[in-house]
Chains A and B, each alone.
Chain A
Amino acid sequence: MAEIVIDGIPYSFEGKPKLLDFILSKNKDVPFFCYHPSMSAPANCRMCMVKVGQYVKNRETGDYELDDQGERRIRWFPKLQTSCNMDMMDDMIVHTHETDDLVKRAHKDTLEMILINHPLDCPICDQAGECPLQIQTYKYGPEGSRFEVKKQHKPKHVQLGPRVTLDAERCINCTRCTRFTDEISQSHQLTITRRGDKNHPTTAPGTVFDDPYSMNTIDLCPVGALTSTDFRFKARVWEMNQTPGLDITNGKGVNVDLWTRDNVVLRITPRHNPHVNEYWMTDKGRDAIHLYNEQRLSTPAIRLHPNDSSLVMTSWDNAYQTTQEIVESTDTKQILVLGSPYASVEENGAWMQFSESILKQSPSYTTHIEKESGDDFLLVDDQAPNTYGCELLGLKKRTKAAFKKAVAEAKVILSLHDDYIERGWLSEEEIKGKTWIYFGTNHTQMAKAATLTIPITCAVEHTASYVNVDQRIQRTYPAKETKYTNRRLDLEMSEGRLDRFGTKFDHWVNEDHKVDCKPLWEIVGDLSLLWGHTLSYRHGRDVLDALASNIPALEGVTYQAMDDQRGILLTSSETQEASS
């Protein structure tokens, strides 16, 4: 075991870790910009300087050489070293800025240099508040600027692609973005152009930065040079809430952070999970904000007459009673219950229980796989977030043909989430004359064609779990309030400044952002009561607990365990059989 002394404290280590990585892992701070743990280290920002030396050993005896005071003699490197690309060696002595004034001075000097051509536009910069340059400048930078000559001007508000905007003057040339397109997404769409202080990233002229992962460069950018075209100028970072969540736009189960303000999801960024997505996510996954904010089903709605072109709002009670009337007036053999890989484990679980106890049948489901649409990275063929969850629960999988046949034979259909019309599996013609009760989140084509729509919470409004294509079960947190939830009472919801201090009487709060919807497990509980059954689930946790005690693959699966292990890989033989 090798040993290293950092700021006077000895640490032991194995292998050849990089010094910066190691120092950071000990919860010590060394400022840096260009370094990123999953990409090559160009050591170009020159920020992570440390003083490095090594104990001198006698070559023959292998003993430490001692100085006059009897202390071990240290041979210092003649210059300060960048720690990001420095291999750790046995007997190394390291001084960070905490113990060495020259290192402190180097940090200040480099920051002064970085800032001379950097615009002083933090007040209008999107990055402000989460800007490494801003933070490091506060911590290690100079008091003021001695730069009293003209700044270098470079292109501003350049639309690099449909989703990314460049302000080259803010760029500090860390090359994280170009390394991302070269090493991670491998689209090679970005390069650094020009030379010296005219350097900045760009695409080749006439080409568009439409890499399906392009927006990761925004997260990577340590300054406000690359910003989101969509999110630009929408909110200050400190006004928003940050809630962990999952990307539900495909089956990969990418971990994300949901940024909300006044119950609107303003942006989605990747959350590090080494088992799933590292630091990255797809651009498509970020588009889910529209799914969460717009075209939401709010308040149940009913088609009063089969020929009516639209549905009208109705009360929850009426919706429940109508459902009961429809079901009771129909032979259960003519009722088709459909689960959904778009819905969570808990939703499908509660749905199944409701279906089995009241409708005397097990729900079936269809997968939504688009062959060849995936890559070897984060895009996968499976378009739904919880296909494996449906298998796990034992829902019956139907092929497209079997599904169409079942629909044709049914009189009443209760379905979850899936938009079969948009997917091209059903035409409006095929469902004419049928009574379709749709439990969904958005004004999909399915919702428009349905007889009765019952709005359910979406992935950012409840706690629920999803099993990804690699059979990892992970869960969401509520980020958005509904009409029936309250941040202050729900301990799983975070509270931002505006949530805390905003009132109805100023412009900060808009009650309309709260959707009139309920978690599916609550709805089926309410419905069950009409039949005299008690299915009392007040929280996703209740459903999961019930499922965990019935399904061997879910044994021991709890939200706590998922949180602790960053999701749980389900490896029981049953799930493996199901997936094969």
Chain B
Amino acid sequence: MSDWTTYEPVLIPNIAGLDRLETYRKHGGYDALHAVLHDQNTWPDPASVVQEVKEANIRGRGGAGFNAGLKWSFMPPVDGGPRYLACNGDESEPGTFKDRKIFEYNPFLFIEGATIAAYAMSITSIYVYIRGEYRSWIHKMEKAVSDAYDAGLLGQNILGSDFSVDLVLHSGAGAYICGEETSLLESLEGKRGYPRVKPPFPAQRGLWGRPTTINNIETLSNVPGVIRNGADWFKSIGAESHPGPILYGISGHVNRPGVYELPSGMPVMTLIEEVAQGMRNGKKLKAIIPGGSSTPILPAKDLEDLTMDADALRGAGSMMGTAGMVVMDEDTDIVETLWRISKFYHHESCGQCTPCREGTGWLEKILEKVVTGQGTTRDLDLLLDITSQMEGRTICALADAAAWPVRYTISRFRDEFEARCKPSLIPVG
């Protein structure tokens, strides 16, 4: 791991006024798109762009961590009909607040990335789905998009080439589930955000039945850098298996919470102790949730040499998720925290699939019992049993996202839960 203290941010560099188009262009903005459209030697065809992005191994920053270029390569051959790129700015996983930084400080980087992606996949329209709560940031994006149109960077014949693509901003209206990629498509089509059954996958039948790729905002914002500096440059940043810059969101009981751009694979303790400047009020660290509320909790003792990349976190029994790390100090009531997480998933289940619709509410209600001292040790086993009835049994991953915190928090902090429960010898059945 290179010295992170000398790392120069590339997604949100420390340059004032980067949200103004002329500043962005002055600092090399749109060079990548220009090259892709005009440098025939380096970028002979859209496929060469897909290949480079695939090579760079930008693992999706929305949580699933899938190679973006590989995802692009799933798009079927051009058939003359419309093809869509849906950009996922729904950002609703508790602990995650990173994409709004791009909207605020470097909107053109994302727009350029999305435009390159559109070129690479012969996309005809880009839809950017931003959660409705981010109204302030949607206004900022509206300005940026309108400036890009005025400068010929979106719309017809972009940068004088024969490539044309439109970009439409679409506001959500309050539904976590719309961050799930097929639910996002339903919401874009103006419906209730019910995740779709797969197959067919969006690349085959996405928006309005046409081929569609869905990428996270941060993922697409990495594309211009890859085009400008090459896949090897990208792969040289951070962890080998999960390369590139990461927008780490750090929240909870630390002295300096916020979003930090650093290489992937940062040691967790460095992020807490140095980047976020340590625990608030000199308290001791109890646990972290590494990548948004659905990723399994990790107790302090497991964090010693842990780094923030997908493989290391999987090894430790958790996940990278959105790299939105929630830090908890020694005074944290783990039982209550888990109840609060369960309440969130109960509130956000779309209600389509039985195990999730019913299971999320059941989990919350039992946890409420436990929090208020009405629970028994049998309830804890029942909770674990319910999670196994939810995992892998639904159309989308919300049921898993709701089940994992319960399963792992109870198994990793069982003593704290038992201390709140009356003993019971009745088997859970």
Residues of A within 8 A of B (CB): 41-47, 49, 78-80, 82, 85, 106, 109-110, 112-114, 116-117, 146-147, 149-150, 152, 172-173, 192, 194-199
Contacts and interface: CB of A to CB of B under 8 A. Distances in A.
B358 interface: yes
A149 B392 CA distance: 25
Contact of B357 (A79, A112, A196): A196
Contacts of A172: 354
B355 interface: yes
A44 B353 contact: yes
B369 interface: yes
Contacts of B395: 43-44
Contacts of B358: 113-114, 116-117, 197
A173 B197 contact: no
A116 B362 contact: yes
B241 interface: no
B369 A44 contact: no
A114 to B, nearest CB: 5
B393 A106 contact: yes
Contacts of B65: none
Which among B192, B354, B355 has the greatest number of chain A C-beta atoms within 10 A?
B354
A152 B357 CA distance: 11
B365 interface: yes
B393 A80 contact: yes
Given A113-B389, A146-B428, A146-B429, A196 B360 contact: yes
B83 interface: no
A196 B348 CA distance: 7
A196 B354 contact: no
B354 A199 contact: no
A198 B394 CA distance: 18
Contacts of A152: 361
Given A80-B393, A85-B197, A196 B350 contact: yes
Contacts of A146: 382, 385, 428-429
A149 B362 contact: yes
A44 B355 CA distance: 9
Given A80-B393, A146-B429, A150-B365, A113 B355 contact: yes
A495 to B, nearest CB: 39
Contacts of A192: 192, 351
B375 to A, nearest CB: 10
Contacts of A110: 354-355, 389, 393
27 contacts: A42-B352, A43-B197, A44-B352, A46-B353, A47-B354, A49-B393, A79-B392, A80-B393, A109-B389, A110-B393, A112-B389, A113-B357, A113-B389, A116-B362, A149-B362, A149-B365, A152-B361, A173-B354, A194-B351, A196-B346, A196-B347, A196-B361, A197-B358, A197-B361, A198-B351, A199-B351, A199-B357
B349 interface: yes
B359 interface: yes
Contacts of A47: 354
Nearest to A150: B365
A46 B369 contact: no
B366 A114 contact: no
Contact of A113 (B347, B350, B354): B354
B355 A46 contact: yes
Which among B355, B358, B385, B393 has the greatest number of chain A C-beta atoms within 10 A?
B358
B354 A114 contact: yes
B197 to A, nearest CB: 5
B268 interface: no
B239 interface: no
A106 B390 CA distance: 10
B14 to A, nearest CB: 42
Contacts of A116: 358, 362
Contacts of B385: 146
A109 B355 contact: yes
A173 B366 contact: no
Nearest to A105: B389
B392 A80 contact: yes
A147 B349 contact: no
B237 interface: no
Contacts of A49: 393
B126 interface: no
A45 B355 CA distance: 8
A93 B429 CA distance: 31
Nearest to A192: B192
Interface of B is mostly: helix
Nearest to A45: B354
Q: Give me the 3 closest cross-chain CB pairs, A-B, nearest first.
A: A199-B351, A149-B365, A109-B389
A530 to B, nearest CB: 69
Contacts of A82: 197
Contacts of B393: 46, 49, 79-80, 106, 109-110
B175 interface: yes
Interface in B225-279: none
Nearest to B345: A196
Contacts of A41: 197
Nearest to B376: A148
Contacts of A109: 355, 389, 393
Nearest to B374: A149
Contacts of B348: 195-196
B205 to A, nearest CB: 13
Given A44-B395, A109-B393, A149-B366, A195 B354 contact: no
B372 to A, nearest CB: 12
Nearest to B389: A109
A110 B352 CA distance: 13
A42 B357 CA distance: 15
A274 to B, nearest CB: 26
Nearest to B355: A113
B197 A113 contact: no
Interface in B325-355: 346-355
Which among A45, A46, A196 has the greatest number of chain B C-beta atoms within 10 A?
A196
Contacts of B197: 41-43, 82, 85
A114 B353 CA distance: 10
Contact of A147 (B352, B362, B428, B429): B362
A537 to B, nearest CB: 57
Contacts of A113: 354-355, 357-359, 362, 389
Nearest to B196: A42
A45 B395 CA distance: 10
A146 B194 CA distance: 29
A195 B351 contact: yes
Contacts of A197: 346, 349, 351, 357-358, 360-361
A77 to B, nearest CB: 10
Which among A45, A109, A117, A147 has the greatest number of chain B C-beta atoms within 10 A?
A109
A162 B146 CA distance: 52
A173 B351 contact: yes
Contacts of B428: 146
A114 B359 CA distance: 9
A114 B354 CA distance: 6
A80 B394 CA distance: 10
B359 A195 contact: no
Contacts of B351: 173, 192, 194-199
Contacts of A149: 362, 365-366, 368-369
A147 B386 CA distance: 11
A350 B32 CA distance: 89
A178 B346 CA distance: 24
Contacts of B365: 149-150
A47 B393 CA distance: 10
Contacts of B347: 196
Given A41-B197, A49-B393, A113-B389, 11 more contacts: A47-B354, A78-B392, A79-B392, A109-B393, A113-B357, A114-B358, A149-B365, A195-B349, A197-B361, A198-B351, A199-B351
B343 to A, nearest CB: 11
Contacts of B354: 44-47, 110, 113-114, 172-173
Nearest to B197: A43
Nearest to A84: B197
Nearest to A191: B192
